[in-house]
Amino acid sequence: MTAPAIRKRSRARRKRTLVRFKRPGTRVLQQNAASTAPAASDSPWYMLRVFAMLLLGVVVQTTLAPFLTVLGAKPDVALVIVVCLAMMRGPVLGAIVGFSTGLLIDIALVQTLGISSFLFTLAGYFGGRYAEGVDLDSWFPPLITVFVSSLVVQLLNSVIMFLLGVQASAGFILLRVVLPSAFLNALLAAPVFIVCRWWLGGDRKDALFTK
């Protein structure tokens, strides 16, 4: 047997061994990493759709959301959109969308520049990272990701406001602002995620929340 044939058989044997001992969860991780990673062939039209969704979130957040109150809580529509986009397209795009959305909100509301950008960037990046290892066909991941992201963003924002000299009761902030807003945002997670996939053309459009 010639040397090239021996090398070819050795490579085939190693490949079969790797396939045989592959962990059960590897395929799910690979599928989600592929579905959430930004595609290299994304067209300018796709990025225009992302910008339109981002702009819609900023407009709703700065015009309608302040007047929408449910049990004392105000929805953070822009944050929900950022997390949903991050779960669909991965942490890199999530961080970019989060930074852009936060910057536009700071400018529109004439507030301290950088705070919303920092918080939304964290939410977008870690929301995209979490989505790489979960099944996005289920209704639960978007709900829990938006809920946790809202909690973290609201708590960090409260800490930053305290450091800037804004005085408020910790119990009031937690019970009347942080928790109600997180629950309200979680209720918006499923419909916003579906709308984002419909508008942007998700990778698994025919399997939305089938479980």
pLDDT band for position 1 (50/70/90)?
low
The alpha carbon torsion through 105, 108, 113, 116 (nearest 10 deg) reads -10
Instruction: List the CATH number of the domain containing 70.
Output: 1.10.1760.20
pLDDT of residue 131: 87
pLDDT of residue 22: 44
Expressed as residue numbers, the domain containing 107 is 41-202
Does residue 6 form part of some domain?
A: no
pLDDT of residue 9: 58
Does residue 211 form part of some domain?
A: no
Does residue 28 form part of some domain?
A: no
Does residue 12 form part of some domain?
A: no
Give CA–CA dist 73/151, Å, rounded: 13
For residue 155, pLDDT beyond 50:
yes
Give CA–CA dist 92/85, Å, rounded: 11
Amino acid type, 158: S
Structure-model confidence comparison of residues 136 and 208, the more confident one: 136
Report the chain's terminal Cα–Cα distance, integer Å.
53
pLDDT of residue 39: 44
pLDDT band for position 202 (50/70/90)?
low
Structure-model confidence comparison of residues 163 and 137, the more confident one: 163
Does residue 34 form part of some domain?
A: no
Domain count, the chain: 1
Q: What is the mean pLDDT of the chain?
A: 78
pLDDT band for position 204 (50/70/90)?
very low
Amino acid type, 204: R
For residue 32, pLDDT beyond 70:
no
Each residue's pLDDT tens digit, 86-104 = 998 889 999 999 999 999 9
Does residue 168 form part of some domain?
A: yes
Query: Can you point out the beta strands (E) in 17-91?
Result: none
Give CA–CA dist 81/77, Å, rounded: 6
pLDDT band for position 11 (50/70/90)?
low
Structure-model confidence comparison of residues 123 and 180, the more confident one: 123
For the chain, what's the residue count?
211
Does residue 103 form part of some domain?
A: yes
Give CA–CA dist 23/161, Å, rounded: 46
Query: Is residue 139 within 8 Å of residue 209, measured between CB atoms?
Result: yes
